[in-house]
Amino acid sequence: MLKETKDIYSDEILYEALTRFGGDKDNVKDIGGFEAFVYEATINDKKYILKITHTIRRSVNYLMGELDYVNYLASHGVPTSKAVESVNGNFVESIDASDGGKFLAYLFEKAEGEISTKESRTDEIIQTWGQVSGLMNRLAAGYKPSKPEYKRQIWYEDDVYEFDKHLTGEDAELIPLCHQILDEVKTLPQTKETFGMIHGDLHQGNFFINKGQVLPFDFDDCEYGYYMNDIAMPYYYGGGLFKVMDDDAVGYAENFLSQFLKGYQKEFSVPKEIFLQMPEFLRVRAMILYIILNQAWVGDMRDDEKNELIIKFRRHTTGEQIPFEIDYSKFL
């Protein structure tokens, strides 16, 4: 969360947002959020997720691009939560902020289910996770924003890739390498089989499990990118990155990827020439995490465990350490 946004946010902003969506301050609870203020609100005895961000970070049209895409997916069979209109008939409500900008509020239905755990992520669930990813990527080929101004960014247009701004001091030495990594992926073929709207952040914390079904949410990072990213990104997280694995860490990662692909390919194909670039997609993910979290986890927020992760992301970026030493040619 940007400090300048937190400093001007208040309960009054929350209460105004709730009012505009038909809620009230007595039926809401804070459930955290990394890049937006996120709440669970009960409105007319039904639970919703209320998100509030600022125009420093998002515009109304950019948010509408997310909500437009989510509602498209939901209407075509993806088990995700639809965006809901306010009492004024708006999907996004703008609220004046003291800095001259706006706070932007939007509401989703709340999915039923539980966040996944290592224990609940069985082979069957990993397959279903992959199948939902494949379904979304297949449907993306037929997606067109309902208004041209709702079109989301292309993945490399994200601010995080402004390396000169983010990599300073000792990290400035990484700038040429980061440009090289970025350019290698940018030059991969962009066809209807490889490129389109993606979720972009479907890690194990961004879906619920309900009666064997995987229910994706948090499309905040949806953008135009390689479908391969919706495989590489869950794999980077779910394959064991954040856990101290058993001795057979490679075996765990291989099984995860095998199960995920088994589900994914029920819905969509994976071009082999793109899939074999998995190491480069993992380096892009490591690079993003290093840049974002190295800036976000400062002072008291950075304990020993987080510092180890920061070091790991840097080593994955530089190539000093390989996330998973696996022969990817054997998977397809």
Express each pLDDT in 133-158 by its tens digit.
Answer: 999 999 999 999 999 999 999 999 99
State which of 90, 109, 128 marks the end of a domain.
109
**In this structure, are 58 and 129 located in the same domain?**
no
Tell me the C-alpha distance between 260 and 256, whole Å: 6
User: Which percentage of the chain shows pLDDT scores above 90?
Assistant: 87
Query: Which position has the higher pLDDT, 252 or 176?
Result: 176
Nearest to 108 by CA among 43, 175, 15: 43
**In this structure, are 155 and 253 located in the same domain?**
yes
What is the pLDDT averaged over residues 224-231? 98
**In this structure, are 153 and 26 located in the same domain?**
no
User: Which percentage of the chain shows pLDDT scores above 70?
Assistant: 97
Confidence at residue 246, expressed as pLDDT on a 0 to 100 scale: 52
Integer angstrom CA distances of residue 289 from 76, 261, 306: 32, 24, 12
**pLDDT tops 60 at residue 247:** no
State which of 109, 134, 152 marks the end of a domain.
109
What is the pLDDT averaged over residues 113-128? 95
What is the pLDDT averaged over residues 105-129? 95
Tell me the C-alpha distance between 63 and 77, whole Å: 22
Tell me the C-alpha distance between 56 and 59, whole Å: 8
**In this structure, are 8 and 154 located in the same domain?**
no
CA atoms 204, 39, 97, 17: torsion sign: positive
**In this structure, are 70 and 154 located in the same domain?**
no
Tell me the C-alpha distance between 35 and 51, whole Å: 10
Q: Whole-number mean pLDDT of the chain? A: 94
Under the banding of pLDDT at 50, 70 and 90, the label for residue 241 is low
What is the pLDDT averaged over residues 28-37? 89
**In this structure, are 162 and 281 located in the same domain?**
yes
Tell me the C-alpha distance between 39 and 156, whole Å: 30
Confidence at residue 245, expressed as pLDDT on a 0 to 100 scale: 46
**In this structure, are 40 and 150 located in the same domain?**
no
**In this structure, are 83 and 124 located in the same domain?**
no
What is the pLDDT averaged over residues 250-259? 92
Tell me the C-alpha distance between 143 and 148, whole Å: 12
For 140, the token pair is 């993306």
**In this structure, are 72 and 182 located in the same domain?**
no
Confidence at residue 32, expressed as pLDDT on a 0 to 100 scale: 84
What is the pLDDT averaged over residues 168-174? 97
Q: Count up the domains in the chain and report the number.
A: 2
| Domain region containing 100 | 3-109
Report the CATH number at residue 144: 3.90.1200.10
What is the pLDDT averaged over residues 87-107? 97
Q: Please tell me the least confidently modeled range out of 23-32, 52-61, 100-109, 300-309.
A: 300-309
Confidence at residue 301, expressed as pLDDT on a 0 to 100 scale: 84
State which of 72, 87, 109 marks the end of a domain.
109
Tell me the C-alpha distance between 16 and 146, whole Å: 28
**In this structure, are 310 and 164 located in the same domain?**
yes
Q: What is the dihedral of CA 273, 190, 231, 165, to 10 degrees?
A: 120
* The Cα angle at residue 218 between residues 252 and 268, in degrees rounded to 5: 60
Under the banding of pLDDT at 50, 70 and 90, the label for residue 34 is confident
Query: Which position has the higher pLDDT, 250 or 185?
Result: 185
Confidence at residue 1, expressed as pLDDT on a 0 to 100 scale: 59
**In this structure, are 157 and 274 located in the same domain?**
yes
**In this structure, are 32 and 176 located in the same domain?**
no
Q: Please tell me the least confidently modeled range out of 59-68, 168-177, 290-299.
A: 290-299
Report the CATH number at residue 82: 3.30.200.20
